[in-house]
Amino acid sequence: METPDAVISTRGLTKHYGSVEALTDLSLDVRHGEIFGFLGPNGAGKSTTIRTLLGFLHATHGSATVLGMDVASESVEIRRLTGYLPGGIALYDSLTGEQVLDYLARLQGRAPYRRADLVERLRMPQADLRRRVRDYSRGMRQKIGVIQALQHDPELAILDEPSEGLDPLMQQAFYAILADLRAEGRTIFFSSHVLSEVERVCDRVGIIRHGRLMAVHEVRELLARRRRRVSIQWRGAAPDASTIPGLVDVTVDGDRLFGTLHGDVSEFVRAVASPSLEDLTIEPASLEEAFLEYYAEEPPTPAAAAPSEAT
């Protein structure tokens, strides 16, 4: 069943090219006001999903709604309220950056309310906007791509690999823009294979593999569930490791104990806390590990096919 506040909702969405299954039985809800990360390596089906949502591709089976409208029959209205940044965006090289933005704003039919703010935050001075796009660096093109997607203040932004080509400083500025949009109640669907940025920016993440949705999780929950490498040093003999909750793969090297921690950190810390504890190191949980775990599994097992699990 569809989540009541779902901005994007797909049910059994399938896209086949002949015998090639680009997307299979995708059921997913993206909630209003969240930043949803769509993770997967190249060819996993991220772009196929996005292109189907925007009406560039026609689904073989299944259905999808965006902002409550059907992607097959109300695509134009959906795009009126949506901002889209394609992966590796192509722009009109013979126009200046400003002309591109003006042209796309006219086609959008909505005033570019946010342009001035975006231009300032992404440090795109007027002098650069008046240069032809053909003279732009990759980063500058990407900035224009971000501005054109967001300048008309869309209800939903669909961003395909948005930080590609941006330098670290601009990436920070971009993440801040996304955070502000979320605070204003906008929804962001964010496709990426850069795990660190998904971890940093997104509220929830969907993991796609071979065209199938493998899992949907809160990023916090995913990180909390992750295994962490720990190292403990005691003065004197190490206590019996089997009494420490959640600790597995234990190896002891002199007075130092190494292991992998599963589950609740606070319970673990309580268990190891003692006057003889000299040093404790817990490596930060990484989404990368979680991600690799999904991709290490063979064969693919769609964990989140049921809509209730994918919301």
Partner 1 sequence: MNGALFARTLAWQRLRWIIVSIAIFGWGILIPVVYAAFSDVIRDLANSGAFPEELLSFGSGSLFTLPGAVTLGTQHPLVLAMLGIFAVGATSTAIAGERQRGTLEVLLSRPISRTTVYTSITAGLLLVVASVLFTFLAGFVVGAAIQGVLDELPIEHMPMVLLNGLLLWGAFATFGLAASVSFDRPGPAIGLTLAYLIVNYFFEILGSLWQEAEWTQEFSLFHHFQPAEILAGAVDPIDFVILGATFVVPIVYALVVFPRRDLAAPA
Q: Which residues bind partner 1 (CB under 8 A)?
A: 17, 47-48, 51, 54-58, 75-77, 79-80, 82, 84, 86-92, 103-104, 106-109, 148
Half-sphere exposure of 183 (CA within 13 A, CB side): 6
Residue 110 CB contacts under 8 Å (≥ 6 apart), including other chains: 80, 152, 153
**Least gap, CB of 58 to partner 1 (angstroms):** 6
Return the number of the residue (115 or 204) whose C-beta is nearest partner 1: 115
**Least gap, CB of 107 to partner 1 (angstroms):** 4
| Nearest by Cα to 3 from 33, 37, 23 | 33
Return the number of the residue (107 or 169) whose C-beta is nearest partner 1: 107
Question: Do 297 and 290 contact (CB within 8 A), yes or no?
Answer: no
**Least gap, CB of 37 to partner 1 (angstroms):** 19
Could you tell me the two tokens for 207?
A: 């993991």
> What one-character DSSP code corresponds to residue 40?
-
**Least gap, CB of 110 to partner 1 (angstroms):** 9
Return the number of the residue (3 or 108) whose C-beta is nearest partner 1: 108
Residue 138 CB contacts under 8 Å (≥ 6 apart), including other chains: 165
DSSP-derived 3-state class of residue 111: coil
Return the number of the residue (96 or 311) whose C-beta is nearest partner 1: 96
The CA-atom distances, in angstroms, between 85 and each of 6, 77, 149, 280, 295 are 21, 17, 6, 44, 26
Return the number of the residue (159 or 247) whose C-beta is nearest partner 1: 159
Could you tell me the two tokens for 82?
A: 């949506």
Q: Output the CA angle 279-284-287, nearest 5 degrees.
A: 160
Strands 212-218, 204-209: pairing is antiparallel
**Least gap, CB of 106 to partner 1 (angstroms):** 4
Return the number of the residue (92 or 276) whose C-beta is nearest partner 1: 92
Return the number of the residue (142 or 148) whose C-beta is nearest partner 1: 148
Distance CA 302, CA 217 (A): 14
**Least gap, CB of 169 to partner 1 (angstroms):** 26
**Least gap, CB of 310 to partner 1 (angstroms):** 24
Return the number of the residue (55 or 246) whose C-beta is nearest partner 1: 55
**Least gap, CB of 187 to partner 1 (angstroms):** 16
Across the chain, where does the E strand assignment appear? 6-17, 20-31, 35-39, 61-66, 69-70, 82-85, 156-160, 187-192, 204-209, 212-218, 228-234, 247-253, 256-261, 277-282
